[in-house]
Amino acid sequence: MDQKTFYITTPIYYPSGKAHIGHSYCTVATDAIARYKRMQGYDVMFLTGTDEHGQKIELNAAKAGVTPKEYVDEIVAGFQELWKLLNISNDRFIRTTDDYHVKAVQKIFKELYDRGEIYKGKYEGWYCTPCESFWTETQLKDGKCPDCGREVKWAEEEAYFFKLGNYADRLLKLYEDQPDFIQPESRKNEMIQFIKNGLDDLCVSRTSFTWGIPVDFDPKHVVYVWLDALTNYITAMGYGSGDDSDYRKYWPADVHFIGKEIVRFHTIIWPAILMALDLPLPKQVYGHGWLLFGDGSKMSKSKGNVVDPVILCDRYGVDAIRYFLLREIPFGADGLFTNEALINRINYDLANDLGNLLSRTTAMVQKYFGGSIPAQRQAEDLDQDLVAMATSLRGRYEESMDGFQFSNALAEVWKLIARSNKYIDETMPWALGKAPDKAPRLAAVLYNLCECLRIVSILITPFMPETAPKIQAQIGAGADVCNWDSADQWGLLPADAVVSKGETLFPRIDVAKEIAELDEILIQKPAEKKAEAPKREQPVEGVAMIGIDDFAKVELRVAEIIACEPVKRAKKLLKLTLNDGQGQRVVASGIAKYYTPDQLVGRHVVLVANLKPAVLCGVESCGMILAADCAGGDVKVIFVDEIPAGSKIR
């Protein structure tokens, strides 16, 4: 019988700057699933790579005084080194500058053109010459370029368009027919709303820069970077090249792992392109959350908060970092990365729980039995609970892993570790060791602990590929009893297994000292410290001063707008449904003149959460969102999209 295949991908990363911990997050998650599926017996294809074209890279290279290719070559090498360091087991690495990809993209573009799915049209808008950018009317700031503030002029540029607008119904039907296509569920609702607001045709070529794949039948155009990038998932398998056997074998992908901000490209544009080519669609797109940093922001070089994974791996070991990334934050949600949380996980979960279980067990086998557990073992009722928990663990773990709930899968494993540690306290092997006639009972206790460690070691392999074999070596378990099938079996460790106390897996860390050092070195500080703002001695004119206690009475929270509609009886009002992190609430806001509902849904705003409810034109409003009165009578809502809903503002 043919081996079942499993094809999983990461996004292809922009080599516009060094690889950082945010990139590592998705790649480590993808690696854990790839390893898990291989252990289960699948023929896995794991693809990652780099997305190397586009204006930003062209500009960065020009600034650095090198060619774009020279520029990306160096950064891509850094990505590849980091993946090696993190033990990433990708089967393939695609670069969009690879010749075979370039040719395949040109073929795909031509195919879409020949099928009438791409047509030549005109790109119109307000053009800023120094920035080489088109802007729509609403994007302009006071009629000027929103980036540089300079004058803009109306311009038209010849461009190719993909008939994305034709695919709205088919996409909505896809989401209905394949309810798991977009995960997690909340991201699906955002996409449905986006499509319902109207899908325009998509501009898929540019003439304003040259660092891209030329349209071969009209070479002054280069292919839009997202069309170039998305197709990597099939070109890497040979689609559009001579040998497409891997394409036929692995496509459609089982899942694309991507960050939440690029779900739209993967669940609207990508399936529409595939539909236009009459090709099968990926089975699932999973939009994970972001790793956020101290100030609640996504990592960004310009903010100077780029956490360097190489430094972390050097200090704590690769497996500790892999474990932390996937244990700390539920995969679909945003989560804070802090040095304190990292060190606590290492100390509690790895050094205390797992490390101690292994070192206590192996030390006792050596002390009482010279490293080999006697075959004569006496079971007791107490053991049954432990054995039942251990042999049923794989099932619970698989349930979580199949839904990409890494954190839950690990939590299940750690329950067995905690149960095993408790079993040591209950059975008191040190007391058994004192009575020679208790040797068979002591042998059973230590054997059971080794068996638990064997099962734990198998199940942590996808997460901690270096630690698992170290545990297996210390308990003397060979490969034949450490495969997937043996993870729900009991009593497989042979009687002649040689148990030896080895190196400490995870040394404990002095929290205070370490955090002080880490804060100093890890956060790459921006080169220049900004000049300190002059102290304000006077209150704002005409406004009374308040004490901190007055301010503390106002409960400010970040909330996500999950729905928005006009209020029939009041032209000025919009009715907003908010997720405030604890539940839903409705707020009426007088911003209808300044925003349409589609500009608001999905955005994060600041909510006054403890304002007494009031009925406004028939809508019971529970709270208020903050906005600024700007020059010229404009009102702008304060958006805080990068801060998770529910965060308290102080």
Annotated binding site for Zn(2+): 128, 131, 145, 148
Query: Which C-beta is closer to ligand MSP: that of 23 or that of 206?
Result: 23
Among 112, 268, 269, 299, binds ligand MSP (CB under 6 A): 299
Query: Which C-beta is closer to ligand MSP: that of 256 or that of 394?
Result: 256
CA-to-CA dists, residue 480 to 138, 340, 463, 483, angstroms: 65, 39, 20, 6
Q: Please identify, among the stretches 10-18, 174-182, 199-207, 423-431, the one whose residues bind ligand MSP according to the rule CB under 6 A.
A: 10-18
The CA distance from 183 to 286, in Å, is 5
Among 262, 333, 411, 586, binds ligand MSP (CB under 6 A): 262
Please name the residues in contact with 471: beta carbons below 8 A apart, sequence gap of 6 or more. 358, 453, 456, 457, 505
Contact between 253 and ligand MSP by CB under 6 A: the answer reads: no
- Smallest distance, ligand MSP to C-beta of residue 619, A: 36
For residues 19 to 48, the per-residue mask of contacts with ligand MSP, x marking binding by CB under 6 A and - elsewhere, is ---xx-xx----------------------
In the block, residue with structure tokens 């009475």: 553
* Cα-Cα-Cα-Cα dihedral sign, residues 65, 67, 68, 70: negative
Contact between 290 and ligand MSP by CB under 6 A: the answer reads: yes
Q: Please identify, among the stretches 12-20, 147-155, 169-177, 615-623, the one whose residues bind ligand MSP according to the rule CB under 6 A.
A: 12-20
Length of the chain: 650
Task: Fill in the amino acid letter for 384.
Answer: Q
Query: Which C-beta is closer to ligand MSP: that of 13 or that of 127?
Result: 13
Among 6, 7, 8, 11, binds ligand MSP (CB under 6 A): 11
Among 103, 283, 298, 603, binds ligand MSP (CB under 6 A): 298
Query: Which C-beta is closer to ligand MSP: that of 69 or that of 569?
Result: 69
The CA distance from 280 to 235, in Å, is 14
Q: Please identify, among the stretches 144-152, 213-221, 225-233, 356-364, the one whose residues bind ligand MSP according to the rule CB under 6 A.
A: 225-233
The CA distance from 613 to 620, in Å, is 7
- Smallest distance, ligand MSP to C-beta of residue 321, A: 14
Query: Which C-beta is closer to ligand MSP: that of 298 or that of 441?
Result: 298
Task: Fill in the amino acid letter for 218.
Answer: D
Contact between 8 and ligand MSP by CB under 6 A: the answer reads: no
Task: Fill in the amino acid letter for 163.
Answer: K
- Smallest distance, ligand MSP to C-beta of residue 336, A: 11
- Smallest distance, ligand MSP to C-beta of residue 13, A: 4
Query: Which C-beta is closer to ligand MSP: that of 263 or that of 588?
Result: 263
Strands of the sheet containing 182-183, edge to edge, are: 92-95, 43-50, 5-13, 255-259, 285-288, 182-183
Query: Which C-beta is closer to ligand MSP: that of 16 or that of 344?
Result: 16
DSSP H helical ranges for 433-510: 439-460, 467-475
Query: Which C-beta is closer to ligand MSP: that of 339 or that of 362?
Result: 339
- Smallest distance, ligand MSP to C-beta of residue 95, A: 12
SS3 399: helix
DSSP H helical ranges for 215-355: 225-230, 232-235, 245-250, 263-264, 270-276, 309-316, 318-328, 339-345
Among 12, 401, 487, 592, binds ligand MSP (CB under 6 A): 12
What does DSSP say about strands 182-183 and 285-288: parallel, antiparallel, or unpaired?
parallel
Phi, psi of 563 (to 5 degrees): -155, 155
The CA distance from 103 to 405, in Å, is 38
Whether the bond into 252 is cis, omega within 30 of 0: yes
- Smallest distance, ligand MSP to C-beta of residue 283, A: 17
Contact between 397 and ligand MSP by CB under 6 A: the answer reads: no
Among 176, 243, 261, 620, binds ligand MSP (CB under 6 A): 261
Q: Please identify, among the stretches 124-132, 226-234, 458-466, 468-476, the one whose residues bind ligand MSP according to the rule CB under 6 A.
A: 226-234
CA-to-CA dists, residue 56 to 98, 210, 232, 265, angstroms: 19, 11, 19, 18
The CA distance from 411 to 416, in Å, is 9
DSSP secondary structure code for residue 383 in this structure = H
Contact between 13 and ligand MSP by CB under 6 A: the answer reads: yes
Contact between 259 and ligand MSP by CB under 6 A: the answer reads: yes
397: nearest Cα among 351, 345, 460: 460
Query: Which C-beta is closer to ligand MSP: that of 11 or that of 465?
Result: 11
Contact between 268 and ligand MSP by CB under 6 A: the answer reads: no
SS3 250: helix
Q: Please identify, among the stretches 70-78, 117-125, 255-263, 594-602, the one whose residues bind ligand MSP according to the rule CB under 6 A.
A: 255-263
Contact between 406 and ligand MSP by CB under 6 A: the answer reads: no
Q: Which residues bind ligand MSP (CB under 6 A)?
A: 11-14, 22-23, 25-26, 51, 229-230, 232, 258-259, 261-262, 290-291, 298-299
